[in-house]
Amino acid sequence: MSSLRLKYMAIVSMQYPFSTRWSGWLAGLLVICLTLFGCSTPMQADSQISPQLKEQVLQIIRENPEAILDSVQAYQRKQQAAQQKEQQAFLEQTKTNPKAVIGSSPTTGAKSGKVLLVEFSDFQCPYCSKAHAILKPFMAKHSDVVTLVYKHFPLTSIHAEAMPAAKAAWAAGQQGQFWAYHDALFTQQEQLGESFYQATAKTLKLDLKRFDRDRANAETAIQQDIELGKKLGLSGTPFFIMNGETLTGLSSVDELEEVLGRVSKG
C-alpha cells in the first residue's frame, strides 16, 4: 500500500475516534478513492473492484463530503506544523552550527565569519540576477565578517535552463571555479545554453572532459539543496537567511546593511 494511502488512513483514525466502525469505513473509502481517482500506482487487487462498489463509494462521498475535507485539512495543518518546526530548527542552526548548514556547498567571504548569509537561488531567475548585483558590493565590503553560502534552488517548471546552469556551476566548482562561473551565469543570463556553458568553461580554463563528466553527476548534490529548500517552505527565489533572519528577495545594499547591523548585535 502506498505511503499516501497510509497517511490518509492514519488521519481518518485520528479525526474520527467516536466510531471505530465508521473510521474503518471511511479509511477504507479513502483508500479506494485514492486508487480509483489518484495518480499513484494501483495495487494489483484494485483492478478487481466491482462497478457496484465504485458506485457505493461515490454515493458515500456525495453524502459525506465534509468528512473527507476535514481529514485533508487536518493533514495539511499537520504538514504546516512540521514545516514550521523544520524552518525554526534551520534558522537556529545558521547561528549555532554554521558548518552543518554549509555542508559541501560553495562559500565565499570570511572563512569562518561571525555572520552566515545563506542564499537559495536560480541562475535563470531575473530577480536572482538583480540580487547578485546587490550582493557583489555588499560582500566586497564585508568579506572579513560575512560568509556567503550558495544553495541551488532551480525552478525547473518555469526556467528551462535553471537545472543545466546549476549543473554547469556545480561542475565548475569541482575544479575550484564555482564563483567565477556563478558570476558569468548571472551577468550574462540572456545567453544561458549549452554553447555558453562550454564557452565559459573554456574561458576559465577548465578540464572540459572532467567538466562534462561532473555535470552528468551533479544532480544528486543539487537535489539535496532543493529538498532542503522544500523543507523550509520555499516556493520562489531568491531567498536569503542571515544568522536566522530571512529575506525574500533583495531591494538594495542598504537593506542588507540593516539586517547585518541587527544580527551583529545578537
Torsion, Cα 177 179 181 185, to 10 degrees, reads 170
The answer to whether the CB of 204 falls within 8 A of the CB of 177 is yes
Q: Which three cell numbers stand for residue 46?
A: 484494485
pLDDT tens for each residue of 11-70? 434 443 434 444 444 555 555 444 444 444 444 445 567 888 888 878 887 888 787 777
Q: Which three cell numbers stand for residue 150?
A: 550558495
pLDDT tens for each residue of 177-189? 999 999 999 999 9
- Residue 143 CA to residue 123 CA, distance in Å, equals 22
The answer to whether the CB of 89 falls within 8 A of the CB of 96 is no
pLDDT tens for each residue of 114-153? 899 999 999 999 999 999 999 999 999 999 999 999 999 9
- 1, with CB counted inside 10 A (0-12, 13-18, 19+), is exposed
As a residue count, the chain comes to 266
The answer to whether the CB of 15 falls within 8 A of the CB of 56 is no
Torsion, Cα 239 243 245 248, to 10 degrees, reads -10
The answer to whether the CB of 114 falls within 8 A of the CB of 145 is yes
Residue 164 pLDDT > 60: yes
**Out of 13-22, 29-38, 104-113, 190-199, least confident range:** 13-22
| Widest CA span in the chain | 72
Beta 115-121 vs 239-242: how paired, if at all?
antiparallel
Direct distance between the N- and C-terminal alpha carbons of the chain, in angstroms, rounded to an integer: 49
Closest among 231, 223, 226, 225 to 88, alpha carbons compared? 231
- Residue 60 CA to residue 262 CA, distance in Å, equals 56
- Residue 82 CA to residue 66 CA, distance in Å, equals 24
| Cis amide leading into 238 (omega within 30) | yes
